[in-house]
Amino acid sequence: MRALIIKHDHLSTPGYVGERLAQRGYVLDELLVVPEDRFTDPGVGCTFPEVEDFDLVVALGAPWSVDHTDLIGPWIAPELTLLASAHARGIPVLGICFGGQALATALGGRVERSPRFELGWTNIHTDARWLVPDGPWFQFHGDRWVLPPGAWEIARNDVASQAFVHGRSMGVQFHPELTSETLAAWLAHGGDAMARKLGLDPGELLARTREEAQAARLRAHLLVDAFLALSDSDSSPARPAPTSHPAEIERSGNGHDGT
């Protein structure tokens, strides 16, 4: 089995999500969209592979906004096409933060600015704890998605929708993949200044992330396992009921939702 991992920048890694996919038998094919030497000038061209060559797609985060086509126009349109094509073919897509916003946009939703920037460990309210536990999850975003038609929101907080499912695909606004090494890289490349602007101590954020490492890895692994169970189902899930077991999720019986 092959998983396409879309890395939008050199600082983002599949972390705990990639670790669990590998444990579950997936070969990870990582595609770096913006090379390190173009990090401050991300309007590069990128040749995306044929999506039918993969069994699963993971779109990771990015420091840019999906709708900032003046910055990332050369590659965001082809990526949205790839995500829409994968979903339409029944190839599961897991979108994380920017990747979740891109997935929502590809399926007919859009992106807007959040009422406030979220940075740090937070709890969320979830309707499907078997799929997305309450957390805490690490947040690092100033945008949020507007749900695409046919999507079911399964988690949220007072700032943004935090998770949705659409057919065999899922978007999450938080970062289940995050490791302390990745956060250290983010802080060293602008995150430190952002944290201080928000009145946060970067050192405390990193220390908390190290403290959370074992539990965060477990939560991420459980999320990946549940996502794979969701994507392996024979019919698309309808609105998840508040439950702790996947067998209790209602089924629509309408087959795969394409776009």
Q: Which residues are catalytic?
A: 97, 175, 177
- Which tokens hold the place of 86? 């994968």
Cα–Cα dist 42/200, whole Å: 28
Enumerate the β-bridge partners of residue 128: 243
Cα–Cα dist 117/195, whole Å: 10
CB–CB of 221/16 below 8 Å? yes
- Which tokens hold the place of 59? 């779109």
3-state helix, strand, coil in the chain (%, to 5): 35, 25, 40
**Number of DSSP helices (H) and strands (E) in the chain, helices first:** 6, 10
